Structure 1
Amino acid sequence: MNVKATWLFFLWLVTSASYAADEQDLVKHIMASVTAEKTYGTQLLERVVNINSGTDNAAGVKAVADVFAPEFKALGFQVTWLDGKSFNRAGHLVAEYGKVGPKLLLIGHLDTVFAQDSEFQRYQPVDERYVRGPGITDMKGGDVVMLLAIKALKAAGVLDRLQLRVVLTGDEESRGTPMSLATQALVEAGDWADIALGFEDGDSNPETAVIARRSSANWALTVQGRPAHSSQIFQPDVGDGAIFEMARVLNGFRQSLSGQTLLTFNPGVVVAGTDTGLASDGRGKAFGKANVIAAEARVTGDLRAISAEQQQQAWIAMAKIAADSLPHTHTTFSYEDRYPPMAPTEGNKRLLALYSRASEDLGYGPVRAVDPRKAGAADISFVANHVNMALDGLGLMGAGGHTDQETADMDTLVSLAARAALLMARLADY
């Protein structure tokens, strides 16, 4: 080996050793910070869980925001409350930090599914490991995980190498209207960011994270038939009636589309008869008689797809099936795109690999992708197509979400905050 080669090899050894030492110090700093903050995080979680913040309880949602706002301010964030009157909700909390480094969007939400009159209102320890409470995993626990991770970044001296924008929405469980205004803060943040991290709880398994979420869309059928005495059904001048036409369309959907991977569609409400009505809240009415051919049928349902292309192809196929009406019937098919899909992009897969490596380096083992069938639509869906990489399901784990048995596994608080912090620290150099 010549002198130059020897020197370069020596320099590589020194640089590698220094990098390894720095990495070990970073891991130690993050673990020490998160561990030291566990009691603080637990107390903060109890405080916000004990505030009812059902989506329609605007004052409660704002009260939870008022707890988190000073926590972010203490870390040097600029904090803004975006009032939600224009989209019929409480509003969103936005916190911003930094002017240099990669742009990271951190997503959480303040609201829960539990109304003000719900009997499930309080933080309730079950044993030394588990705690039950409204919104404890979905997703006030995720908001706390996020905050502990940011505190760990600051303690490790990494925070100033990142640009962070935190968006805590107030209407994730029941989106405000018009949706364009309700999601404006998220979409603008997605346009600004390079990378998006969501702190929902995924499928409540700490060995998984979310790189893909299916869309959430609504569809409807309005069917008209020719009313007559039941004895005349199928006659050339009467036809098949609204109910047989409705059944034809629904079965056509099933036969044509049910075999597509990760595409699902479900007729959730059906009313049919001589006179029908179906309100936007899902309440319906129907009047008819067994010996009268039904004049009307109405159906509402949902559809979930893994990509925008799959969803659009489904709409085209469903519209074509609906249009091929039986004699003397007519079907109108309509749909509404709501939550877009978060497709499993190569960028998302790379981000998961970085997260998995962080988990392994912290001693928590590898992390794999959640089956998209087990991850519903969420706030990150509105920004996933705007950023280079996106990952969700980083929040506090547990079970029983959206029920009065919602329970958090508090043993995951430290591990999840540490993993998120180490991932973000490494993204500073990505």
Structure 2
Amino acid sequence: MDHMSLPFDTDEMLKGLKPWIECESPTFDAAAVDRMMDLAAYDLAAAGAEIERIPGRMGFGGSVRARFPHKDFGKPGILISGHLDTVHPVGTLEVNPWRIEGNKVYGPGIQDMKGGNYVSIEAIRQIALAGLETPLPVTVLFTPDEEVGTPSTRELIEMEARKNKYVLVPEPAKPDGGAVTGRFAIARFNVRTRGRPSHAGWALKDGRSAIAAMARKILEIEAMTTEDCTFSVGVVHAGTWVNCVSSSCEAEVLSMAKRQEDLDKGVEAMLALNGEENDVVVEVTRGVTRPVWEPDDGVIAMYELARDIGKEIGFDLTHGSAGGGSDGNFTGAMGIPTLDSIGVRGAGLHTLGEYIELDSLEERARLIAGMLLKLK
């Protein structure tokens, strides 16, 4: 018996996945993420794993590490690395509820990346039920903070990766269904402008608006974008009263580059914005960074194995480097063979129309099962 004859059942997978989607788990709500970790821990244990719960820190939820029984238990094997946080606030289910329409299954976080995480567990469960043993021991690590750059669990992921020979990341497949074999570098920045408060009605000229200064700064930052390094401002917070000239404004900036040297130049340009203009102080500080991950022979060998398994299943798995960070950036940049984005197909991640393709549940469960049975 091999991965092709495992009895994956799409209806059964939908039944198991639905509670995951209906347990909303936005990164900034640690209690919500922990509820999701409870569900995952139960399903991992029911698939035969020994479970460890790792407490959260820095205000984030905790993590789950699951190790499956194996004759070589504790020796280097395969790490499946996934995150259970989503970008969608609690209440998004009202706008994008769990529903099945034709070949589409909707819900917040279903594509990024609860669907891929769930089918990974299902692959392991079906292997165990069939009485098969993977050549290498398998560990699953689910973390709570990938959507904000993994500030609280990077060391945990990197240390777990060091203990293993291979890393599989079931992030959503690329639009053509392809896998990711490299990722661009990403840096985050926090920008603050500090002005001078005054009454906006009778003493406007006495004030120095931190909001107005930030508005100019945002245009300046986004104008720094080139083919080699992009800059975008995604979050702005300021002001409490419309009749007060705002004395403080905060923004978050994301920068992405295909090469580390271009990102390093971008970091330099951002930090050079520190200073004072028109009595308004501009402060730029570094946030979390993801290193460039460039594929090596180990990554390409993993991809070729996955492509062969895909052909047996009936599809052609493409590959390439991608923008948008993932925890694969860390393990890939460490030189540990990593195959990313082998999760479910779908579209609309990070939007209110997020969905997966129903028939990709079985396809991806079979792909992951094949990888687990063939990686040596």
Residues 222, 233 of structure 2: 8 Å contact kept: no
SS in 1 for 2:294: coil
Q: Report what 1:125 is aligned to.
A: 100
Relative to structure 1, is the Cα distance of residues 337 and 116 closer, same or farther in structure 2, using a 3 angstrom cutoff? Answer: closer
Q: Report what 2:254 is aligned to.
A: 302
Q: Distance in 1 between matches of 2:274 and 2:43?
A: 56
The letter for the 2-side match of 1:123 is: W
2:168 matches 1:217: no
Q: Report what 1:264 is aligned to.
A: 230
Q: Give, in angstroms, the shift of residue 251 of structure 1.
A: 5.7
Residues 183, 329 of structure 2: 8 Å contact kept: yes
Q: 2:294 aligns with which of 328, 340, 344?
A: 344
Q: Give, in angstroms, the shift of residue 387 of structure 1.
A: 4.3
2:336 matches 1:364: no
Relative to structure 1, is the Cα distance of residues 220 and 70 closer, same or farther in structure 2, using a 3 angstrom cutoff? Answer: closer
Q: Distance in 2 between matches of 1:52 and 1:224?
A: 36
Q: Report what 1:283 is aligned to.
A: 237
Cα root mean square deviation, aligned? 3.8
Q: Report what 2:109 is aligned to.
A: 135
Q: Distance in 2 between matches of 1:252 and 1:72?
A: 45
Residues 270, 284 of structure 2: 8 Å contact kept: no
Deviation digits for residues 306-341 of structure 1 (CA, Å, limit 9, x no counterpart)? 344432233235556x48999x99986634141413
Aligned counterparts, 1:83-102, within 5 A = 83-84=55-56, 86-97=57-68, 98=70, 99=72, 102=76
Q: Report what 1:68 is aligned to.
A: 40
Q: Give, in angstroms, the shift of residue 164 of structure 1.
A: 1.6
The answer to which structure has the higher helix fraction is 1
Aligned counterparts, 1:418-429, within 5 A = 418-428=366-376
The letter for the 2-side match of 1:69 is: A
Tell me the TM-score normalised to structure 2 length.
0.79
The letter for the 2-side match of 1:380 is: G
2:315 matches 1:315: no
Q: 1:414 aligns with which of 336, 343, 362?
A: 362
Alignment identity in percent?
A: 23
Q: Give, in angstroms, the shift of residue 244 of structure 1.
A: 10
Residues 221, 331 of structure 1: 8 Å contact kept: no
Q: Report what 2:340 is aligned to.
A: 392
Q: Distance in 1 between matches of 2:358 and 2:318?
A: 21
SS in 2 for 1:173: helix
The letter for the 2-side match of 1:408 is: I
Q: Report what 1:48 is aligned to.
A: 20
Q: Give, in angstroms, the shift of residue 390 of structure 1.
A: 0.9
The letter for the 2-side match of 1:213 is: R
Q: Distance in 2 between matches of 1:344 and 1:223?
A: 36
Instruction: Provide structure 1 residue ranges, at least 5 long, that are not aligned to the other structure.
Output: 1-25, 226-242, 270-281, 288-294
Q: Distance in 2 between matches of 1:186 and 1:142?
A: 18
Tell me the TM-score normalised to structure 1 length.
0.70
Residues 168, 339 of structure 2: 8 Å contact kept: yes
The letter for the 1-side match of 2:145 is: D
Q: Distance in 1 between matches of 2:284 and 2:154?
A: 23
Q: Give, in angstroms, the shift of residue 427 of structure 1.
A: 0.9
Deviation digits for residues 251-278 of structure 1 (CA, Å, limit 9, x no counterpart)? 69856x6142xx2122457xxxxxxxxx
Off by >4 Å, runs of 4+ in structure 1: 155-158, 220-225, 243-255, 295-300, 317-320, 322-326, 328-333
The letter for the 2-side match of 1:284 is: A
**Structure ID, larger Rg:** 1
SS in 2 for 1:350: helix
Q: Distance in 2 between matches of 1:54 and 1:299?
A: 20
SS in 1 for 2:371: helix
Would you say how many aligned residue pairs link Structure 1 and Structure 2? Answer: 358
Q: Report what 1:355 is aligned to.
A: 306
Q: Distance in 2 between matches of 1:102 and 1:383?
A: 14
